[in-house]
Amino acid sequence: MRPAITRLVWAIEGVVRGFGVLAAWVCVALVLLVAGDVFARYLFRTGAVWAQELQWHLISPIALFGMSYALVSGDQVRVDVLFDRFGPGVQRAIEVLGGLLMIALGIIVVRLSLPWVEMSYIRGEGSPNPGGLPHRFILKSLIPLGFGLLALQGVAHVLRHALDLPPRPRPRPEPQG
């Protein structure tokens, strides 16, 4: 049973790391888009509403996928000054409780945001600005997706700390020669 749970945790964390890589590439796209917009504005005295809207649209997956990636990477906000003073049992209990709260928060936000996304889709909501982006439901759908991912990582976090599971082994590089 324990090896199956370990593989499940590794699989969940693999999915979360994949979304983290996606968020990193979205950061690259955002930097390129902002640089292009700045060059277009200052060199050619032109700009596009859709490009400006896309800039703030791209911040959403960075934040929404990045929060789960921070949790799997151990980079979440924690008061380490206090946490480091506790014994291993108390630390594990805090991690499990934190993971349970992540699951609850994720489920609540997913449940509250799905009707909002559905309404946006039904209405065909788009940008109110001329030349803006259509299909605003795509952006809004990142909210339940991001918080669903957070809840999923919360499950992996709880299992990892409650059962004291080992980290996933990293593949060894092939010898050069």
- Each as own residue / partner, the long-range contacts of residues 11-18 (CB below 8 Å, 24 or more positions apart, any chain) are 12/152, 12/153, 12/155, 12/156, 13/72, 13/153, 13/156, 13/168, 14/168, 15/149, 15/152, 16/68, 16/69, 16/71, 16/72, 16/149, 16/152, 16/153, 16/156, 17/69, 17/72
What pLDDT is stored for residue 173 in this prediction?
Answer: 65
Report the range out of 150-154, 161-165, 173-177 with the highest average pLDDT: 150-154
**Residue of higher predicted confidence among 84 and 18:** 18
- How many degrees, rounded to 5, is the angle at CA 138 between CA 135 and CA 143? 140
- Per residue in 104-113, pLDDT (tens digit) is 999 999 999 9
Residue 42 has pLDDT above 80, yes or no: yes
Q: What is the mean pLDDT of residues 154-177?
A: 80
**What are the distances in angstroms from CA 102 to CA 7, 27, 85, 167, 174?**
21, 25, 23, 20, 38
Confidence of residue 83 (pLDDT cuts 50, 70, 90): confident
User: Phi-psi category of 135—alpha, beta or left, where left has phi over 0 and alpha has psi -120 to 50?
Assistant: left
**Residue of higher predicted confidence among 92 and 80:** 92
